[in-house]
Chains A and B, each alone.
Chain A
Amino acid sequence: MNAPAGLDLASISERVQSEVQRAIQRSIKGVEYFSSSGPSLGSTPKDILAVRGTMNLYHYRPVADEIYRVPILIVMATTNRGYILDMVPGQSFIEFLLKRGYDVYMLDWTAPKPEEKSLRMEDYVLDFIPDCIRRVQQDSGEHDVTVIGYCFGGVLSLLYGSIFHDGPMKNLICFTTPIDFREMKLFSNFSDRRYFDVDRLIDTTGNMPPELILQSFEMLRPGSRVAGQVQLWDNIWNDEYVKAYRMMDRWGTDTLPLAGEYFRAITKDLMWDNKLYNDTMTVGGREAKLANIKVPILHAVAEHDHIVPYDAAKHLIVKIGSSDKEEVVLKGGHVSVVAGANAIKRLWPKLDSWLGKRST
């Protein structure tokens, strides 16, 4: 009997064989998956310099023989853990920076305790960040500091930079940082002031529960969790795929609660009144206009960002007061642009070539 045109019997037999092998591997690896813990994340050697309130300041131990003069302070988003930037060796942004000769510090956050529900935007912008900057200066012996902010960490860095515009921030790098909150269309709809009673919610719960934050992130792509699990099962024979899935899944679901007053301010000032975009933002009565920032700035945005779409992020470069400014639009999503396999090829080398010459 002849095979139909276009079909090769030998390749079909190979294909069937490989599918049978994969099916066996799926059963074995599937059992392994549920009985083992995921890879250890955030393991680049570091020292804790300060822990206060929700603020944690780390210093990563340098690995290069010679480092750049200007240290880096990374400001993480307040909803997520900093280990997204330090996954596993070979896929760690921190490790990359250390190997390229940077001195790296990170401001990471922990969950606010119930009694810390009163932490306000002022505590983050006028206290925690300046305190970390001071400690970085003290520890490194350098006056200048480069600040890197990821997502809402970028917003906090911008607020800090626009208030403390006389220094000591020397360079600013923002990853996927929203400016026009109206353009985060679904979040904007979820928090529609006609229906979303933020006062009632925060007065009831104290802090913003992490489950609600995670739920609102997942609602942006409601089909993706199920599709991801189907794809995981499909690829469970592939150790590399499973490792990457576990890393991202663990980080994605490890959402932090937000201090009640801080969340109230985000909702009212940014989501409702869009004050950062409208140049009317103040923190503790101090004007926080983007035009006040004059230091060199690099803004990296993702082409397929479903959390901070390009339309929400594009105004940063327009509104900032710096003359040395650059926006780079890279392939990828909100997370993969900074931490995925593509980040290794695209964002990290770009950042190194931009920052190296501004770090001496």
Chain B
Amino acid sequence: MADKGNDPAVIWQTMIGEMEKGFNSFANQAMGSPEFSKMMNQVGGASAGAQKQLGELMEKYLLAMNLPSRAQMVGMAERLQAIEGQLNEIKALLHQVHHNSLAPEGGYGTPRPPRTRRPPSEGEQK
């Protein structure tokens, strides 16, 4: 076997790891200063405002193009999720009422296991 210290793949991986650590540590020091916080919040505050304005503008554009906006798509997805939730509730009720074989294994309508489990003794612990 070749010595691991001479293996270019190992050297490469170690180098990447060290570079990552070094960069993170350097950046963390720089980001820990009050000046950084001041600068970040000035830029962040301005960009949040700009982003909101851009979002509103985009919404108007999509409306003009007769296309749904992201908010509308999210709204639709949530409506679908709510419908799915209601379907689940109806399914659960049906299973409870009929106790039929359509009930999923371990799901509603099938008896749950008894709550009698005891912890294994110390010797049995895996």
Residues of A within 8 A of B (CB): 6-8, 11-12, 15, 19, 45, 47-48, 51, 61-69, 101, 103, 110-111, 113-114, 140, 142, 185-186, 189-190, 192, 194-197, 200-201, 204-205, 209, 212, 219-224, 226-227, 230-231, 234, 349, 353, 356-357, 359-360
Helix, strand, loop or mixed for chain B's interface? helix
B117 is an interface residue with CB less than 8 A from chain A:
yes
Interface positions of B from 107 to 126, Cβ below 8 Å from A = 107-108, 112-120, 125-126
Name the residue on A nearest B37 (C-beta).
A192
B42 is an interface residue with CB less than 8 A from chain A:
yes
Given A69-B115, A219-B31, the answer on whether A205 and B48 have CB atoms closer than 8 Å is yes
Closest CB-CB distance, B42 to chain A, in whole Å?
A: 7
B82 is an interface residue with CB less than 8 A from chain A:
yes
Check if B24 sits within 8 Å of A221, measured CB to CB: yes
Chain B 11-22 against A: per-residue CB contact (8 Å), 1 yes, 0 no?
011001101111
Interface positions of B from 1 to 56, Cβ below 8 Å from A = 1-3, 6-7, 9, 12-13, 16-17, 19-24, 27-28, 31-34, 36-38, 40-42, 44-45, 48-49, 51-52
Check if A51 sits within 8 Å of B81, measured CB to CB: yes
Check if B45 sits within 8 Å of A200, measured CB to CB: yes
- Apart from A6-B3, A62-B113, A113-B75: 13 A-B pairs, beta carbons within 8 A: A7-B6, A8-B1, A15-B2, A67-B115, A195-B34, A201-B44, A201-B45, A205-B52, A219-B31, A220-B28, A223-B23, A227-B17, A234-B13
Closest CB-CB distance, B22 to chain A, in whole Å?
A: 8
Check if A61 sits within 8 Å of B106, measured CB to CB: yes
> What total of chain B residues lie within 8 Å of the partner, measured CB to CB?
60
Check if A209 sits within 8 Å of B48, measured CB to CB: yes
Chain A residues lying within 8 Å of B23, measured Cβ to Cβ, are: 222-223
Check if A113 sits within 8 Å of B2, measured CB to CB: no
Most buried by A among B34, B42, B113: B113
Chain B residues lying within 8 Å of A189, measured Cβ to Cβ, are: 31-34, 36-37
Chain A residues lying within 8 Å of B12, measured Cβ to Cβ, are: 234
B85 is an interface residue with CB less than 8 A from chain A:
yes
Q: How far is the CA of A65 from the CA of B3 in the complex (A)?
A: 52
Name the residue on A nearest B34 (C-beta).
A192
Check if B32 sits within 8 Å of A231, measured CB to CB: no
Check if B113 sits within 8 Å of A65, measured CB to CB: yes
Given A223-B23, A360-B118, the answer on whether A15 and B34 have CB atoms closer than 8 Å is no
Closest CB-CB distance, B29 to chain A, in whole Å?
A: 10
Given A189-B36, A227-B16, the answer on whether A7 and B2 have CB atoms closer than 8 Å is yes
B100 is an interface residue with CB less than 8 A from chain A:
no
Q: How far is the CA of A324 from the CA of B74 in the complex (A)?
A: 46
Q: How far is the CA of A224 from the CA of B37 in the complex (A)?
A: 21
Name the residue on A nearest B40 (C-beta).
A190
Name the residue on B nearest A349 (C-beta).
B126
Chain A residues lying within 8 Å of B40, measured Cβ to Cβ, are: 190, 195
Nearest 3 A-B pairs (CB), nearest first?
Answer: A356-B119, A223-B23, A227-B20
Check if A197 sits within 8 Å of B106, measured CB to CB: no
B63 is an interface residue with CB less than 8 A from chain A:
no
Partner of A212, one of B6, B16, B44: B44
Given A186-B32, A192-B34, the answer on whether A231 and B24 have CB atoms closer than 8 Å is no
Chain A residues lying within 8 Å of B74, measured Cβ to Cβ, are: 111, 113
Check if B37 sits within 8 Å of A45, measured CB to CB: no
Chain B residues lying within 8 Å of A227, measured Cβ to Cβ, are: 16-17, 19-20
